[in-house]
């Protein structure tokens, strides 16, 4: 066996072990890479973790943090959600909670509101999510044997708003040594041992290489708590589909309800895509976003975390980063978020839209009944520009109640194109993004595009290129297009154009792969990892 072939075999063996691939996947990977070697199209592969930052001898904060002892104790082991329960019970009534803020800084006080039904004492353990030697989390703080109580479901308010006014159960100050990240509070009831999560982000204002924006406004838009008819997609007019008593959806701003951050997160409501009861309480973070965070921290990139709300309220702080990341299902933005992102791009910040259906729905952030800012959302229009928005509303027969947002394509390089999925298809193999991937024109990465994607490339943008493009299913939708263009300060805007991009990067503990009837991602792929490394290394050069 030649030296290169030995390297191929050992690479794929290590890759399979780290990513849970079976023997068939191992054989296929070895065969495909060997053919590439024989054809002279690429050299011996290297295990991911070969980014420029990983080679540096100086360790940054993320690398030091991930050298701390990790644990898988953050994973839930018992929930009260199962296949027998009707869909309207996809909450965790025996124990559930929410936080007073979407994000906090060191020194801030966070309040956690918890309800137990029946009344029970409970434990609360706080974990920071990350890589931590493949464990996915680090234990940070514990509260033992807290006395819980049953807190009432909120009444139905004006505009169908369900806004909890629960009393705080736990309150504490964020320690100075808690690094920016996504933190999970694991709730465990003493009565029956049932568990669920609360979730919050610890942010900071330090200069960083990468700024990871969690898509929590979209999590809330799809949050159906307390029963499966209280998301941003529900109204009083539509009946039920008959499937598990699922209420029909509406996207009409004239009749859909308002939603509040002052309530727990139910399990993600689109169970035809993914069903993971052990994610209850985390919105969509564990589904679409954690595989990216896990991989970024494994690579040792200097990353800081914020919420959508921070992009809205702290626009100038985006400019502290070399690269801004939109991840997963990042559908709902405010106009101010858009303006702040444009301003950051124009000052030289690189952007990576590792997401699909992004910057699509215009929403405002409104105060709660108690006057707390940025706690309520309602549906307005689309980020399509006035002309396209008017055409869409006319076609649907839904006159616009609010003005349209600016065209998302002028920020991202494309816009939402469809629902379904397909394969990533390489169109520019000589572009630097494909360096060391071995990909040739027409090569595909199966199932990476879905369940929503970007198309309609904005060809008028400077030095605009389509990096990947291919037909999707159902065929009535526009093709997928992954794009890149130059910003005004020697920066770039990369648009992967798929919610499922991060599925090709890692599979953290407890992760469940999604699927659509038209496409299913295959999990970690060294080509996706290499493309991601190429993008981030350019950002931080």
Contact between 332 and 223 under an 8 Å Cβ cutoff? The reply is: no
Structure tokens belonging to residue 11? 């690479």
pLDDT value of residue 454: 99
- Higher model confidence: residue 239 or residue 512? 512
Question: What local confidence, expressed as pLDDT, does residue 25 receive?
Answer: 54
Q: Kindly tell me if the per-residue pLDDT of 332 is higher than 90.
A: yes
**Which sequence spans correspond to the domains of the chain?**
3-66, 87-540
CA distances from 447 to 349, 441, 495, 520 (A): 30, 17, 17, 5
| Three-state DSSP state, 140 | strand
Where residue 322 falls (left for φ over 0; alpha for ψ -120 to 50; beta otherwise) is alpha
pLDDT in tens, 119-143: 999 999 999 999 999 999 999 999 9
Find the angle CA(118)-CA(119)-CA(125) to the nearest 5 degrees.
105
Is it the case that residue 472 has pLDDT exceeding 60? yes
DSSP string, 320-389: GEEEEEEEEE--EE-HHHHHHHHHHHHTT-EEEEEEES-S-EE--EE--TT--SS-EE----BBSHHHHH
pLDDT at residue 43 is higher than 70: no
Q: Which of 20-29, 86-95, 336-345, 354-363 has the lowest mean pLDDT?
A: 20-29
DSSP 502: G
Distance, in Å, from the CA atom of 539 to the CA atom of 541, rounded to the nearest integer, reads 6
The mean pLDDT of the chain is 91
Q: Which residue has the higher pLDDT, 3 or 523?
A: 523
What pLDDT does 391 receive?
87
3-state secondary structure of 131: coil
- Average pLDDT on 413-419 reads 97
25 vs 383, more confident? 383
């Amino acid at each position: 066996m030649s030296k290169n072939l030995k390297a191929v075999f050992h690479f794929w063996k290590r890759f399979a072990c780290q990513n849970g691939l079976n023997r068939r996947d191992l054989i296929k990977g070895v065969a495909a890479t060997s053919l590439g070697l024989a054809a002279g199209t690429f050299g011996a592969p290297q295990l991911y973790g070969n980014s420029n930052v990983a080679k540096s001898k100086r360790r940054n904060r993320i690398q030091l943090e991930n050298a701390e002892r990790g644990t898988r104790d953050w994973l839930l082991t018992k929930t009260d959600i199962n296949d027998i329960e009707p869909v309207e019970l996809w909450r965790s009534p025996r124990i559930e909670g929410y936080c007073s803020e979407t994000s906090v800084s060191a020194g801030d006080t966070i309040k956690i509101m918890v309800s137990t039904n029946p009344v029970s004492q409970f434990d609360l353990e706080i974990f920071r999510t990350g890589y931590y030697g493949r464990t996915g989390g680090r234990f940070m703080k514990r509260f033992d044997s807290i006395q819980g109580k049953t807190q009432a479901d909120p009444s139905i308010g004006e505009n169908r708003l369900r806004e909890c006014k629960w009393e705080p159960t736990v309150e504490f100050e964020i320690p100075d040594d808690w690094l920016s990240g996504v933190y999970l509070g694991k709730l465990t009831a003493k009565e029956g041992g049932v568990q669920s999560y609360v979730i919050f982000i610890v942010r900071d204002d330090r200069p960083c290489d990468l700024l990871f924006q969690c898509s929590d406004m979209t999590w809330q838009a799809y949050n159906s708590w307390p029963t499966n008819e209280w998301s941003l997609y529900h109204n009083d007019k539509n009946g039920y589909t008959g499937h598990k008593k699922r209420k029909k959806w509406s996207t009409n701003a004239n009749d859909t309800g308002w939603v509040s951050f002052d309530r727990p997160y139910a399990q993600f409501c689109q169970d035809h895509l993914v069903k993971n009861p052990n994610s209850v309480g985390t919105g969509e973070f564990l589904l679409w976003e954690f595989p990216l965070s896990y991989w970024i921290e494994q690579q040792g990139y200097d990353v800081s975390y914020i919420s959508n709300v921070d992009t809205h309220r702290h626009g100038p702080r985006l400019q502290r980063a070399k690269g801004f990341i939109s991840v997963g299902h990042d559908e709902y933005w405010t106009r101010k978020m858009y303006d702040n992102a444009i301003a950051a791009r124009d000052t030289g910040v690189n952007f990576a839209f590792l997401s699909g259906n992004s910057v699509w729905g215009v929403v405002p952030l409104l105060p709660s009944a108690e006057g707390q800012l940025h706690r309520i959302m309602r549906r307005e229009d689309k980020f399509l520009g006035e002309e396209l928005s008017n055409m869409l509303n006319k076609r649907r027969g839904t006159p616009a109640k609010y003005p349209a947002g600016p065209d998302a394509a002028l920020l991202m390089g494309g816009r939402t194109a469809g629902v379904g999925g397909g394969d990533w298809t390489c169109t520019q193999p000589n572009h630097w993004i494909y360096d060391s991937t071995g990909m040739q024109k027409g090569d595909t990465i199966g199932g990476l595009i879905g369940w929503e994607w970007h198309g309609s490339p904005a060809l008028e943008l400077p030095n605009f290129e389509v990096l990947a493009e291919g037909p999707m299913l159902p065929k009535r939708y526009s093709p997928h297009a992954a794009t890149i263009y130059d910003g005004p300060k020697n920066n770039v805007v990369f648009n992967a154009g798929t919610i499922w991009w991060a599925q090709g990067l890692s599979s953290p503990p407890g992760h469940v792969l999604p699927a659509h009837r038209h496409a299913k991602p295959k999990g970690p792929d060294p080509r996706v990892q290499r493309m991601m490394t190429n993008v981030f290394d350019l950002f931080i050069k």
